[in-house]
């Protein structure tokens, strides 16, 4: 099976040698997204709430470019620089997704690109 590269200007461009997403069959592997505004290329302000919402908007844009939506996400990996923000991210995730929710892992990391507080990657089923 061949792979298809997914690219959209509605989400931030990749910051390095990787693609926004890669489709293989009915699965789409979305690269990690931080809270970059796709228009300005700058990290959004406003703390963990604003950053989490922007990350979900970025992931949604990549899902749409692949022909899907966040509702089709099978697995979500969340990276936080402070697990003290876990409850806030949970609340926003509950607003963003409907049950049944995707499988998920959340881990604390020492740092993220550009000083972001949250990064997420996903696997989308089409």
CATH number at residue 59: 3.30.1330.40
Q: In this predicted structure, what is the pLDDT of residue 96?
A: 98
Q: List beta partners, residue 22.
A: 5, 29
**How confident is the model at residue 15, as a pLDDT?**
84
pLDDT 10s digits, 40-64: 999 999 999 999 999 999 999 999 9
Full residue range of the structural domain in which residue 64 is found: 3-125
Number of domains in the chain: 1
The answer, yes or no, to whether residue 1 has pLDDT greater than 80, is no
Interval 94-115: pLDDT, tens: 999 999 999 999 999 999 999 9
Would you place residue 21 in the very low, low, confident or very high pLDDT band (cuts 50, 70, 90)?
A: very high
pLDDT band at 75 (very low <50, low <70, confident <90, very high): very high
59: left (phi over 0), alpha (psi -120 to 50) or beta: alpha
Q: pLDDT at residue 17 above 90? A: yes
Strands 103-108 and 73-80: parallel
Residue partners of 25: CB distance under 8 A and separation at least 6: 1
């Amino acid at each position: 099976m061949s792979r298809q590269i997914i690219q959209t200007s509605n989400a931030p461009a990749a910051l390095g040698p990787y693609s926004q997403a890669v489709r293989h069959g009915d699965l789409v592997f979305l690269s990690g997204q931080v809270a970059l505004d796709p228009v300005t290329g700058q990290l959004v302000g406003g703390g963990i709430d604003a950053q989490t919402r922007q990350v979900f908007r970025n992931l949604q844009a990549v899902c749409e470019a692949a022909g899907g939506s966040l509702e089709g996400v099978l697995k979500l990996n969340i990276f936080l620089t402070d697990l003290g923000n876990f409850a806030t991210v949970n609340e926003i995730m509950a607003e963003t997704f409907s049950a049944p929710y995707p499988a998920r892992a959340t881990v604390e990391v020492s740092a993220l690109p550009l000083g972001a507080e949250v990064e997420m990657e996903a696997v989308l089923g089409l």
